Protein backbone atom coordinates (compact mmCIF):
# COMPACT_ATOMS: atom_id res chain seq x y z
CA UNK A 1 0.00 0.00 0.00
CA UNK A 2 1.39 3.40 -0.94
CA UNK A 3 0.51 6.77 0.62
CA UNK A 4 -2.20 7.53 -1.94
CA UNK A 5 -3.90 4.20 -1.19
CA UNK A 6 -3.54 4.78 2.55
CA UNK A 7 -5.18 8.20 2.25
CA UNK A 8 -8.05 6.72 0.23
CA UNK A 9 -8.61 3.96 2.83
CA UNK A 10 -8.59 6.40 5.74
CA UNK A 11 -10.89 8.80 3.89
CA UNK A 12 -13.35 5.96 3.25
CA UNK A 13 -13.16 4.75 6.86
CA UNK A 14 -13.66 8.21 8.37
CA UNK A 15 -15.87 9.90 5.79
CA UNK A 16 -13.43 12.82 5.57
CA UNK A 17 -12.33 14.29 2.22
CA UNK A 18 -9.12 12.84 0.78
CA UNK A 19 -7.52 16.31 0.68
CA UNK A 20 -8.01 16.66 4.45
CA UNK A 21 -6.75 13.14 5.16
CA UNK A 22 -3.73 13.73 2.89
CA UNK A 23 -2.83 16.98 4.68
CA UNK A 24 -3.12 15.32 8.10
CA UNK A 25 -1.12 12.28 6.94
CA UNK A 26 1.69 14.49 5.62
CA UNK A 27 1.70 16.53 8.84
CA UNK A 28 1.95 13.36 10.96
CA UNK A 29 4.75 11.89 8.84
CA UNK A 30 6.71 15.16 8.79
CA UNK A 31 6.35 15.52 12.55
CA UNK A 32 7.61 11.96 13.13
CA UNK A 33 10.54 12.45 10.73
CA UNK A 34 11.57 15.77 12.30
CA UNK A 35 11.33 14.40 15.83
CA UNK A 36 13.43 11.31 15.03
CA UNK A 37 15.96 13.41 13.09
CA UNK A 38 16.33 15.56 16.23
CA UNK A 39 17.03 12.47 18.34
CA UNK A 40 13.57 12.20 19.92
CA UNK A 41 11.62 8.97 20.24
CA UNK A 42 8.04 8.91 18.94
CA UNK A 43 6.01 6.23 20.72
CA UNK A 44 2.47 5.36 19.65
CA UNK A 45 1.07 2.98 22.27
CA UNK A 46 -0.09 -0.29 20.74
CA UNK A 47 1.38 0.61 17.34
CA UNK A 48 5.11 1.03 17.91
CA UNK A 49 7.98 3.44 18.32
CA UNK A 50 10.17 5.37 15.91
CA UNK A 51 13.64 6.33 17.09
CA UNK A 52 17.15 7.15 16.00
CA UNK A 53 19.89 4.57 16.57
CA UNK A 54 23.64 5.16 16.27
CA UNK A 55 25.51 2.58 14.20
CA UNK A 56 29.22 2.64 15.03
CA UNK A 57 31.94 2.54 12.38
CA UNK A 58 32.94 -0.95 11.32
CA UNK A 59 34.92 -2.90 8.78
CA UNK A 60 33.04 -4.53 5.92
CA UNK A 61 33.90 -6.37 2.74
CA UNK A 62 33.33 -5.51 -0.88
CA UNK A 63 31.39 -8.60 -2.08
CA UNK A 64 32.79 -8.32 -5.61
CA UNK A 65 36.49 -8.11 -4.69
CA UNK A 66 36.64 -9.30 -1.08
CA UNK A 67 38.54 -6.11 -0.23
CA UNK A 68 38.10 -4.79 3.33
CA UNK A 69 36.43 -1.40 3.44
CA UNK A 70 35.67 1.00 6.28
CA UNK A 71 31.98 1.73 6.86
CA UNK A 72 31.58 5.06 8.62
CA UNK A 73 29.46 5.58 11.74
CA UNK A 74 25.96 6.88 11.12
CA UNK A 75 22.58 7.47 12.71
CA UNK A 76 19.65 5.54 11.25
CA UNK A 77 15.90 5.59 11.90
CA UNK A 78 14.33 2.39 13.27
CA UNK A 79 10.78 1.28 13.94
CA UNK A 80 9.96 -1.15 16.72
CA UNK A 81 6.41 -2.51 16.46
CA UNK A 82 4.25 -2.59 19.58
CA UNK A 83 2.81 -5.73 21.15
CA UNK A 84 -0.67 -5.20 19.68
CA UNK A 85 0.76 -4.67 16.19
CA UNK A 86 2.94 -7.77 16.48
CA UNK A 87 -0.08 -9.78 17.60
CA UNK A 88 -2.19 -8.64 14.65
CA UNK A 89 0.52 -9.60 12.19
CA UNK A 90 1.21 -12.96 13.86
CA UNK A 91 -2.47 -13.87 13.87
CA UNK A 92 -3.13 -12.51 10.39
CA UNK A 93 -6.12 -10.46 11.52
CA UNK A 94 -7.18 -6.83 11.15
CA UNK A 95 -8.26 -4.16 13.59
CA UNK A 96 -11.81 -2.88 13.62
CA UNK A 97 -12.57 -0.17 11.07
CA UNK A 98 -12.66 3.43 12.32
CA UNK A 99 -16.14 4.78 12.96
The residue ranges of every structural domain in the chain are: 3-91
Task: Determine what percent of the chain is predicted with pLDDT higher than 70.
Answer: 96
Q: Shortest CA distance to 51 belongs to which of 38, 66, 36?
A: 36
**For range 35-62, the mean pLDDT:** 97
* Topology classification of domain 3-91: HU Protein; Chain A (4.10.520)
Whole-number mean pLDDT of the chain?
94
| pLDDT, position 94 | 76
User: What is the C-alpha to C-alpha distance for residues 35 and 3, in angstroms, rounded to an integer?
Assistant: 20
Using a cut of 0.75, tell me whether the model's pTM lies above it.
Answer: yes
User: What is the C-alpha to C-alpha distance for residues 9 and 24, in angstroms, rounded to an integer?
Assistant: 14
Amino acid sequence: MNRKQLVAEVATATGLPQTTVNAVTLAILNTIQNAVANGDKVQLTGFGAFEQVHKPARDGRNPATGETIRIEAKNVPVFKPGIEFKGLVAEGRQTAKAA
